[in-house]
Amino acid sequence: MAKAPVIAVVGSASMDLTCYADVLPQAGQTLYGNQFTTGFGGKGANQAVMAALAGANVYMVGSIGNDLFGKSLEENFKNRKVNSEHIKISDLPTGVAHIWVDAQGQNRILIVPGANHDFNESHAAQAVASIPELSIVLGQCEVPQSVTTAAFVAAKKRGAITIFNPAPYQVLSPDLLSVTDWLIPNEVEFEEFVGAAPTSESLSQFRPGKNSIVTLGDKGAVLISEDGALTSIATTKVQAVDSTGAGDCFIGSFSFAIASGLDAKSAAEFACRIAALSVTRKGAQSSYPTAAEISTLS
């Protein structure tokens, strides 16, 4: 059996507090919802758990609070076989995300980062430098960019591939972009980044000399190679009930596939199949397929 590829995720881990309702309230309005759940989330943790489910040996680098949510998140990492030795236990409360999901499966999310913002550059860089046989480092925008930049610099020093998911969107520092091999925004983040909707022209001019992917929800994804060539990746048509964490599911699966030696097109196709399945179920990590299901999607 091939050795599991090693992936580090420098990012957030949060508790998701989710309300499902047919119609979401406007300002000043009170409505009834259908269901409330607590679930494991945070973009970093979601990507880490997905990569581990796919078969990677995953290390989470981040920070959680010394509270009940933090203890539960730690237990979840253990159950999901994600290494948590580089997670700081902070005096700040564990991060939370308040999520509303409507009848079409579309969400609105408000994040309170708490402990996710309480770890620093040297913590992240030292963790990345010390993880044995590391092939990929993943980052997102729910921890400070300076911390991700330090982790990516350490990753590049040892020849690891860096993948950045600019979510939720922020203006990205040139330092971070210069050490990012793969940039993977969704279509909204792409538009915020370039100031134009994703068209053949705007996509082919995105980051010349570097690889990128723009995820397009139920329209799949588009792969942009270093020379600007575009490859459309189709996805399976499904009945969506909750899109929360689908982007993270794509990134975690894609990273595992690339680290396992698949070419970019096959890796993106694999990731689209897994992300499509995830939107048919509620929650973020709770919607991700099991290892047995993944083997039928490979």
Catalytic residues: 248
Q: 228-240: string of b/e by CB count within 10 Å (b at 16+)?
A: eeeeebebeeeeb
- Does a cis peptide bond (omega within 30 degrees of 0) precede residue 168? yes
- The span of 77-85, 195-203, 244-252, 260-268 binding ligand RIB (CB under 6 A) equals 244-252
- Does residue 284 belong to the site contacting ligand RIB (CB under 6 A)? yes
- Does residue 46 belong to the site contacting ligand RIB (CB under 6 A)? yes
Which CB, 149 or 285, lies closer to ligand RIB?
A: 285
Which CB, 63 or 260, lies closer to ligand RIB?
A: 63
Quote the least distance from Cβ 153 to ligand RIB, whole Å. 25
What does R_g of the chain's alpha carbons equal in angstroms? 18
- Does residue 269 belong to the site contacting ligand RIB (CB under 6 A)? no
Beta-sheet strands, E only, within the chain: 6-10, 14-20, 35-41, 57-65, 82-90, 95-101, 107-112, 134-140, 161-165, 182-183, 211-215, 221-224, 230-233
Please pick, from the candidates 67, 118, 248, 269, the single residue that binds ligand RIB as defined by CB under 6 A.
Answer: 248
Please pick, from the candidates 16, 67, 118, 269, the single residue that binds ligand RIB as defined by CB under 6 A.
Answer: 16
> What spatial distance separates the first Cα and last Cα of the chain, rounded to whole Å?
16
d(CA 158, CA 140): 20
Which CB, 110 or 196, lies closer to ligand RIB?
A: 110
- Does residue 244 belong to the site contacting ligand RIB (CB under 6 A)? yes
Please pick, from the candidates 5, 6, 11, 43, the single residue that binds ligand RIB as defined by CB under 6 A.
Answer: 43
Please pick, from the candidates 4, 17, 21, 109, the single residue that binds ligand RIB as defined by CB under 6 A.
Answer: 109
Sequence-distant (6+) residues with CB within 8 A of 275 are: 215, 235, 246, 247, 249, 250, 253
Quote the least distance from Cβ 43 to ligand RIB, whole Å. 5
- Does residue 124 belong to the site contacting ligand RIB (CB under 6 A)? no
Would you tell me how many other CB atoms lie within 10 Å of the CB of residue 296? 9
- Does residue 153 belong to the site contacting ligand RIB (CB under 6 A)? no
Which CB, 230 or 240, lies closer to ligand RIB?
A: 240
- Does residue 57 belong to the site contacting ligand RIB (CB under 6 A)? no
d(CA 289, CA 55): 12
- Does residue 111 belong to the site contacting ligand RIB (CB under 6 A)? yes
Nearest residue to the partner ligand RIB, using Cβ: 41
- Does residue 116 belong to the site contacting ligand RIB (CB under 6 A)? no
Beta-sheet strands, E only, within 131-204: 134-140, 161-165, 182-183
- The span of 29-37, 41-49, 83-91, 215-223 binding ligand RIB (CB under 6 A) equals 41-49
Burial tier of 68 (Cβ tally within 10 Å: 0-12, 13-18, 19+)? exposed
Burial tier of 7 (Cβ tally within 10 Å: 0-12, 13-18, 19+)? buried
Dihedral sign, CA of 16, 294, 85, 154? negative
Q: Which residues would be at the binding site for ligand RIB (CB under 6 A)? A: 14, 16, 41-43, 46, 97, 109, 111, 142, 244-245, 247-248, 284
